[in-house]
A and B are shown apart, each in its own frame.
Chain A
Amino acid sequence: MSERGHAWAEYAASFALGALDDEDRIAFEAHMESCAACRAEVLAYRDVAVGVARTTVLHEPPAGLRDRILAAARATPPPALANGASAAPGEAVRNTSVKTAPRTAATARVASLPEPHGMRPTTPRRWLLAASTGVALLAGGALLSERRERRVLEQTVAGLTQQATTDRARLVGLEAALAGRDSVLATVLAADVVTLRMVAQGERPPGARVYWNRRLGRIAIAANDLPPAPAGRTYQLWGIAAGSPVSLGLFNTAADGSATSSFAIGTALDFQVAAVTEEPAGGSPQPTRTPFLVGTRATR
């Protein structure tokens, strides 16, 4: 420990006592970032300061204080792990600095310094530790770190459970999407499928094609260049037989204006014309707007 000749060495004792004025303290904290010798000096002087605290005249604490503290502790479970660094010993050194100022990396490092090796046999810390940190307290520390372990495990399990739930929901979604594809494919890939090519009414660009598999009682619609329906609205596909519209299903397009949907309509239904209207979400029993896509069944 090159105490002599080090211009900063005179700050260590005052820092440990919390006596540095703000300007000096800030400068010294910055210096400690890169000076292991000064960090060790501060630790040693901190033990001296703790020793000074021991010399106070003894006063008996109020009888209810112990129960009050324990009750308050039970009511406020400690928060989960702080990130990484052992904050507790840092607290101790930080507290030697009486001015309230943001804790610097230097003070944090001082705090987490291990016992200086060469000083171990003679440093006051040794007997202070031996005198004031008994076996029972170390056992208490072990209990506390068991709690810490348990919290980590609980957090891990909670995280995995949540992940599993998310994965399961995603799987269900994928299965539904896949079933939809299968259904579209089954509807479309049949020799006797009926096709209705739907064209836009007026100048609107969208187009769509309806595939009707009469044997399966299913239809599929593939639309393109159709902007998604506004919020609270949906697109509804109608089959029109003898002038009377029957709802075939609801669909909406993706952001790119495309949609591929399939609906079961039963094998009894027959229609000549298909039409698409924009309806309130949930669909309507009868069209409330003029169809903007209309297609007539192709003759085969």
Chain B
Amino acid sequence: MATGDDRALAELYDRHGRLAYSLAFSILGDGAEAEEAVADAFLQVWNSAATFDPQRSSAAGWLTMIVRTRALDRLRSRRRRGALVERVALLEGVDVARPASSEDPALSAEQRDVREKVAAALAILPPPQRKVIELAFFGGLSHSEIAQELGEPLGTVKTRIRSGMEKLRAALAVHATAG
């Protein structure tokens, strides 16, 4: 194994390890489990890295989705719906960074920039829309599961997700152009 290969993985970790761990932590709410999920995800990246084409996909985006999947796998295998509901409560305001709290010196300037923009966009969403998006993304819940959790009609949940995502997309596009 050439040292260059290790270096690529090490660089990937150095750049994105903290955000990866934070994502896993926000999904699982448990440090030890988050650590396992992140290790799983990086090894999955490592094992399929030969097929990764940086021209076509952002490595960070790829890694992010793998971390989310591994973390949700663990969440489901835990089968603790009670814990999940707690997470739902936490998502209300604790786990998702607000613009003011995203000033973290450990992140690169670009990463801080992204966080601020997305967090700002999330913050301007009507809370019901933000909540369904967060339940889907961090909680791994489907339309019907969200409807059940919240006691809302299925159609309402679908509409909120779609509206919220459209607004986020538009806000990010505006920011991207402006920035």
Interface 9-residue window, one of A46-54, A177-185, A237-245, A267-275: A46-54
Interface hub of A13, A53, A61, A96 (most chain B Cβ within 10 A): A53
Q: Is A99 an interface residue (CB 8 A)?
A: yes
Output the nearest chain A residue to B146 by Cβ-Cβ distance.
Answer: A19
Decide: B57 and A88 in contact? CB cutoff 8 A.
yes
Decide: B119 and A17 in contact? CB cutoff 8 A.
no
Find residues 1-48 in chain B having any chain A CB closer than 8 Å to their own CB. Answer: 1-2, 4-23, 25-26, 31, 34-35, 38-39, 42-44, 46-48
Report the bound CA distance from A122 to B176 in whole Å. Answer: 6
Contacts A20-B142, A45-B165, A59-B25: A54 and B1 contacting too (C-beta < 8 A)?
A: no
A58 contacts which of B104, B113, B144 (Cβ < 8 Å)? B104
Residues on B with C-beta less than 8 A from A46 are 61, 65
Measured CB to CB, the closest approach of chain A to B153, in angstroms, equals 14
Report the bound CA distance from A221 to B14 in whole Å. Answer: 78
Decide: B6 and A73 in contact? CB cutoff 8 A.
yes
Residues on A with C-beta less than 8 A from B165 are 13-14, 16-17, 45, 48
Output the nearest chain A residue to B75 by Cβ-Cβ distance.
Answer: A98
Measured CB to CB, the closest approach of chain B to A44, in angstroms, equals 6
Report the bound CA distance from A216 to B40 in whole Å. Answer: 75
Residues on A with C-beta less than 8 A from B138 are 56
What sequence of 0s and 1s flags, for each residue 93-104 of chain B, a beta carbon within 8 Å of any chain A beta carbon?
Answer: 011110001101
Decide: A79 and B136 in contact? CB cutoff 8 A.
no
Output the nearest chain B residue to A82 by Cβ-Cβ distance.
Answer: B51
Decide: B137 and A53 in contact? CB cutoff 8 A.
yes
Q: Is A170 an interface residue (CB 8 A)?
A: no
Report the bound CA distance from A178 to B56 in whole Å. Answer: 58
Measured CB to CB, the closest approach of chain B to A22, in angstroms, equals 8
Minimum-distance CB pairs A-B, first 8: A140-B8, A132-B60, A89-B57, A88-B52, A141-B54, A131-B110, A13-B165, A19-B136
